[in-house]
Amino acid sequence: MKKAVTATVTLAMEADKDTLAKIEKFVKKRGARKITYEIDENIIGGIIIQIGDVIFDGSLRSRLDNIKENV
Amino acid sequence: MYMGYVESQRLANIFDALGFDWQSIVAHLIALIILTVGLYLLLFKPVKKMIKERQEKIRKIEQENNDLNEEVKSMKSSTEVVLNEAKKQASVIHDNAVRVANQKADEIVSSARKEAKDLVERTEREMEEERNKLQSEIKKQISDVSIAVAEKVLARDLTPQDNKKLIEDCIEQWSEEE
């Protein structure tokens, strides 16, 4: 994976410190030095992490969309 | 010659005694002869000729009549033969026409049955497709509604603890995948 500078983390609501620490650890392990947090209620719950071109989508929104497509 | 003169004188005396005028008689006889010959030549012969011609004509007419009768008989006979033949042929044609018509009718009925069967099958197929399409549509709508309801419920009922669990599970899973 290429080293990218900034990671964008999207959450549905504010997370506690413990969760934020785990997020930071995960993101830094993948080469990101800076983290930007966004709150978007549309994702309903879960997390979306974008590091460069790579997106880790663990949002409830995407899961519901997958279910809709597969029905 | 003297004997002849005497005989004729004697004959004349007899006629005078009886009161006959022998000159008149001779004249009448001559006249009769002339008349007879004249009648024969002017009347009897032409009439005989005419009668003969008429008879000949009648004979010819009778002959022609007989010939015509024979011809008519022959034509009648031929006509009957032709008529019988025509009747036979008409009967054959009629039988053939009936056979062909029956065959055609059978073909038409068979074709109509096949068409009807195809139509029924096609209609059933289309109805099945329509039914499937409708079912898919209904399923999709149910799914959409269910998803929408799930979104609303999740958005309303998701607690921070649930969200925390979700996030941590994702991070753990992504970490294991690497």
Per-residue pLDDT tens over the stretch A14-46: 999 999 999 999 999 988 889 999 999 999 999
Selected residues 112-141 of chain B with any CB under 8 Å from a CB in chain A = 139-140
Chain A, nearest residue to B154 by Cα: A44
Distance CA A58, CA B166 (A): 8
Distance CA A56, CA A42 (A): 16
- Tell whether B147 lies on the interface with A, counting CB pairs under 8 A: yes
- Ranking B16-25, B39-48, B74-83, B146-155 by mean pLDDT, the lowest is B16-25
Asked if B174 lies within 8 A of A56 by C-beta distance, the reply is: yes
Q: Does residue A50 carry a pLDDT above 80?
A: yes
Q: Is residue A30 part of a domain?
A: yes
Cα Rg of chain B (Å, integer): 69
CA distance A35 to chain B (A): 15
Classify B18 as helix, strand or coil. helix
Chain A, nearest residue to B144 by Cα: A68
Distance CA B128, CA B126 (A): 5
C-alpha A25: how far from chain center:
13
Band of residue A69 on the pLDDT scale cut at 50, 70, 90: confident
| Whether the Cβ atoms of residue A48 and residue A35 lie closer than 8 Å to each other | no
| Whether the Cβ atoms of residue A9 and residue A37 lie closer than 8 Å to each other | yes
* CB-defined contacts A:B, below 8 A: 69
Residue type, A3: K
- Stated length of chain B: 178
Instruction: Give chain B positions within 8 Å (CB) of A71.
Output: 139-140, 143
Any residues with CB less than 8 A from the CB of A33 and at least 6 apart, and which?
A5, A6
Selected residues 7-66 of chain A with any CB under 8 Å from a CB in chain B = 11-16, 18-19, 22-23, 26, 29, 41, 44-47, 56, 58, 60-61, 64
- Backbone torsions φ then ψ of A12, nearest 5 degrees: -85, -25
Q: Is residue A1 part of a domain?
A: no
Host domain of residue A41: 6-70
What does pTM read for this prediction?
0.51
Beta bridge partners of B155: none
Domain count, chain A: 1
- Tell whether B174 lies on the interface with A, counting CB pairs under 8 A: yes
- Ranking A2-6, A53-57, B6-10, B53-57 by mean pLDDT, the lowest is A2-6
The DSSP call for residue B42 is I
Average pLDDT over all residues of chain B:
92
Q: What is the DSSP string of B85-132?
A: HHHHHHHHHHHHHHHHHHHHHHHHHHHHHHHHHHHHHHHHHHHHHHHH
- Tell whether B164 lies on the interface with A, counting CB pairs under 8 A: yes
Distance CA B28, CA B16 (A): 17
Which of A18, A22, A45 is facing B166, going by the closest CB pair?
A45
Give the model's pLDDT for residue A4: 52
- CB atoms inside a 10 Å sphere around CB B32: 10
Helix (H) or strand (E) holding A50: strand A47-51
CA distance A34 to chain B (A): 18
Classify A52 as helix, strand or coil. coil
Give the model's pLDDT for residue A3: 54
Band of residue B1 on the pLDDT scale cut at 50, 70, 90: low
Residue of B143, B156, B158, B153 lying closest to A65 (CA atoms): B143
Q: Is residue A48 part of a domain?
A: yes
Average pLDDT over residues B34-61: 94
Burial (0-12, 13-18, 19+ Cβ within 10 Å), B58: exposed
